[in-house]
Amino acid sequence: MSTPMVITAAMVGAETTREQTPHLPITAEEIAEDAARCREAGAAMVHLHVRTPDGKPSQDAELFRAAIRAIRKRTDVLIQTSTGGAVGMTVDQRCGPLTLTGEDRPDMATLTTGTVNFGEEVFWNPRPLVRDIARRIRAIGLRPELECFDVGMIDEARYLAKEGLVDLPAHFDFVLGVPGTLQPRPEVLDFMIASLPEGSTWTVAGVGRHQLAYVDEAAKRGGNARVGLEDNIYVSKGVLAKGNWELVAEAAKRARAHGREPATPEQARKLLRLS
Amino acid sequence: MSTPMVITAAMVGAETTREQTPHLPITAEEIAEDAARCREAGAAMVHLHVRTPDGKPSQDAELFRAAIRAIRKRTDVLIQTSTGGAVGMTVDQRCGPLTLTGEDRPDMATLTTGTVNFGEEVFWNPRPLVRDIARRIRAIGLRPELECFDVGMIDEARYLAKEGLVDLPAHFDFVLGVPGTLQPRPEVLDFMIASLPEGSTWTVAGVGRHQLAYVDEAAKRGGNARVGLEDNIYVSKGVLAKGNWELVAEAAKRARAHGREPATPEQARKLLRLS
């Protein structure tokens, strides 16, 4: 039997607006309801950003606490908090969710290992900041998902491991298709996989129109996939997804078409070596 | 007969100091003398930065004018001016050499197409700035060398071409081995070459200990190479190069060992389609 596929729902993000889609969840309750439906549809994990009540991106610990509690009241889906936040945030702002410990602690946190253009702006991750976030993730006992927007960011994971800041093998997320940086091609995905440290696991997050196509590419190659309104709002050309759950359902359908069952949270915990 | 190999001497840079090597040229006369020896040793082009008299990196137009005039008095080597400058410079500062027209105009200018970590700092090239520099290069009738520190920067060249800001095919420079970004492996070079727009030409600049090894890799693959004190100060392990010319001589020797003659400036002009 083939390895189950971990589907992660990137539910909220920092860029998508209610003007673009009325289906973007914003409050803790909206996020929790959509998360529960994502879990039913086949998601093992949610990638979590939060918003202020008026929809602005935030990394505020109390907003994360509320969302995490609301999600956990409804479902056992794993919760991965972003440390990317939004362009322009300080490191302390970005690390809000890493102050949550005990029963509010997330299950995983992201760590972006380099700086890239992000549309017209710059997603600012200089080395000192990356090391700082890596230390904070480690300090609360979490394992990072290493977000790579280009090939060199995989090399940087090796460097961080040499510095003792991350453990290898690790779990990687290839974010492909952000305007201004690496664009998806099947050969790009193959090359990134071939460039990974031995024994590592990976997820691919295709942005925009590439999202669902790269669920297929990931499924074929034994990898995992991220879908959701953070990266793409359409379930098919011009048709808005009615919630994150609908993108997850479509991803699960595609995974099964390639002989892959969506992983449960417990399977994902084992596959991604989460404690 | 195989295609001649264009050897570019990155003579000065913005990072190398006289403390690291006493052989770094700083004044216009020092640069011109080393450039003439580089030409004799096999360089077809110099990649030019300038310094203030006390050795600080500068993009000052008058310093460029003095260096360009001094070089041209001594030799016919092609002159490619940097628009990267040093970390922290504004776009107007970086574009100093692009204000030189008429007989002081350089033969080529670099254009870096994305933002990356650069050691502990960030080499800041957001999209609006890249477009701005591309327009200025075009306005004085030059062809850019597209500096790519990672694979996604090749994709960005395609985007700039769609916007009408650069022409394809183009000439690319793969800068491999800057700490914090893409590290050189032969497979990385193969993948970058395979990712180029049809008909493009390329140079590889290996940083530090990778510099001379990647002359061999470039020679084997029919490409071109950049060497010089900007990227590497050693001609062999622990032995300082006595000038840029010594690194060029070593590169020329390696090119010939692979059956490639160093290109003359006139051959390079044709190979890189310079006007």
Contact B184, B210 (CB under 8 A): yes
From A260's Cα to the closest Cα of chain B, the distance in A is: 29
* A115:B117 CB<8 A: yes
- Smallest CA-to-CA distance from B60 within B69, B68, B51 is with B51
Contact B234, B205 (CB under 8 A): no
Residue B91 has pLDDT above 70, yes or no: yes
B111 pLDDT band, cuts 50/70/90, is very high
**Chain A residues in contact with B127 (beta carbon < 8 A):** 117, 119-120, 180
* A180:B121 CB<8 A: no
Q: How many domains does chain A have?
A: 1
Contacts of A152 by beta carbon, 8 Å cutoff, 6+ apart: A114, B116, B149, B150, B180, B181, B182, B183
Interatomic CA distance for residues A186 and B86, integer angstroms: 36
CB neighbourhood size of A235 (10 A):
18
From A112's Cα to the closest Cα of chain B, the distance in A is: 12
Both structure tokens of B8? 């570019």
**Chain B residues in contact with A120 (beta carbon < 8 A):** 126-128
How many A/B residue pairs have CB atoms within 8 Å? 90
Mean pLDDT on B134-163: 98
**Chain A residues in contact with B150 (beta carbon < 8 A):** 150-152, 182
**Chain A residues in contact with B121 (beta carbon < 8 A):** 126
Would A46 be classed as within a structural domain? yes
Strands (E), B99-186: 108-112, 116-118, 121-123, 144-148, 171-176
Q: Which of B119, B156, B181 sits opposite A152 (nearest CB)?
A: B181
Q: Which of B114, B124, B128 sits opposite A181 (nearest CB)?
A: B114
Q: What does the pLDDT look like over B237-261, one tens digit per residue?
A: 999 999 999 999 999 999 999 999 9
Mean pLDDT on A238-258: 98
The helix or strand, by DSSP H or E, that contains position A113, with its residue range, turns out to be none
Would B1 be classed as within a structural domain? no
- pLDDT at residue B105, rounded to an integer: 98
Mean pLDDT on A128-134: 98
B1 pLDDT band, cuts 50/70/90, is low
From B138's Cα to the closest Cα of chain A, the distance in A is: 21
Q: Report the CATH number that the domain containing residue A75 is assigned in CATH.
A: 3.20.20.70
- Smallest CA-to-CA distance from A174 within A187, A165, A166, A184 is with A184
pLDDT cut 70: percent of chain A above it: 100
Mean pLDDT (chain B, rounded):
97
Q: Which residue of B has its CA nearest to A190?
A: B191
Would B187 be classed as within a structural domain? yes
* A155:B183 CB<8 A: yes
- Residues B89, B95, B98, CA angle at the centre, nearest 5°? 165
Mean pLDDT on A240-264: 98
* A156:B121 CB<8 A: no
Q: Which residue has the tokens 């001094």?
A: B70
SS3 A11: coil
Residue A1 has pLDDT above 90, yes or no: no
Interatomic CA distance for residues A152 and B188, integer angstroms: 10
**Chain B residues in contact with A181 (beta carbon < 8 A):** 114, 152, 155-156
In B, what residues contact A, Cβ < 8 A?
114-117, 119-122, 124-128, 149-152, 155-156, 159, 179-183, 187-188, 191, 194-195
Mean pLDDT on B2-26: 97
From B188's Cα to the closest Cα of chain A, the distance in A is: 9
A206 forms beta bridges with A176
From A36's Cα to the closest Cα of chain B, the distance in A is: 36
Mean pLDDT on A120-141: 97
Contact B148, A151 (CB under 8 A): no
SS3 A80: strand
SS3 for B27-43 is CHHHHHHHHHHHHHHCC
- pLDDT at residue A154, rounded to an integer: 98
**Chain A residues in contact with B187 (beta carbon < 8 A):** 191, 194-195
pLDDT cut 90: percent of chain B above it: 97
Would B30 be classed as within a structural domain? yes
- pLDDT at residue A180, rounded to an integer: 98
From A171's Cα to the closest Cα of chain B, the distance in A is: 19
* B115:A119 CB<8 A: no
Instruction: Tell me the CA distances in angstroms from B98 to B84, B101, B125, B166, B230, one per residue in order.
Output: 12, 8, 17, 16, 21
- pLDDT at residue A261, rounded to an integer: 98
Per-residue b or e along B17-39, where b marks 16 or more CB atoms closer than 10 Å to that residue's CB: eeeeeebbbbbbebbbbbbbbbb
- pLDDT at residue B86, rounded to an integer: 84
Through-space distance between the first and last CA atoms of chain B, rounded to whole angstroms: 25
Q: What does the pLDDT look like over A168-226, one tens digit per residue?
A: 999 999 999 999 999 999 999 999 999 999 999 999 999 999 999 999 999 999 999 99
- pLDDT at residue A86, rounded to an integer: 84
Which of A150, A195, A196, A210 to mutate to test binding with chain B, by most B CBs within 10 Å of its CB? A150
Mean pLDDT (chain A, rounded):
97
Residue B275 has pLDDT above 90, yes or no: no
Q: Which residue of B has its CA nearest to A182?
A: B152
Mean pLDDT on B80-91: 91
Q: Which amino acid is at A193?
A: I
Which of B111, B125, B131, B151 to mutate to test binding with chain A, by most A CBs within 10 Å of its CB? B151
DSSP A114: S
Would A1 be classed as within a structural domain? no
* A122:B126 CB<8 A: yes
Q: Which domain holds residue A214?
A: 7-271
Q: What does the pLDDT look like over A72-124, one tens digit per residue?
A: 999 999 999 999 988 889 999 999 999 999 999 999 999 999 999 999 999 99
Contact A176, A215 (CB under 8 A): no
* A156:B117 CB<8 A: yes
pLDDT cut 70: percent of chain B above it: 100
Mean pLDDT on B79-95: 93
In A, what residues contact B, Cβ < 8 A?
114-117, 119-122, 124-128, 149-152, 155-156, 159, 179-183, 187-188, 191, 194-195
Would B117 be classed as within a structural domain? yes
* B127:A119 CB<8 A: yes
- pLDDT at residue A171, rounded to an integer: 98
SS3 A116: strand
Residue A64 has pLDDT above 90, yes or no: yes
Rounded to the nearest 5°, which phi and psi values hold at B188? -65, -45
Would A2 be classed as within a structural domain? no
* B156:A124 CB<8 A: no
- Smallest CA-to-CA distance from B170 within B139, B151, B148, B140 is with B148
Would A189 be classed as within a structural domain? yes
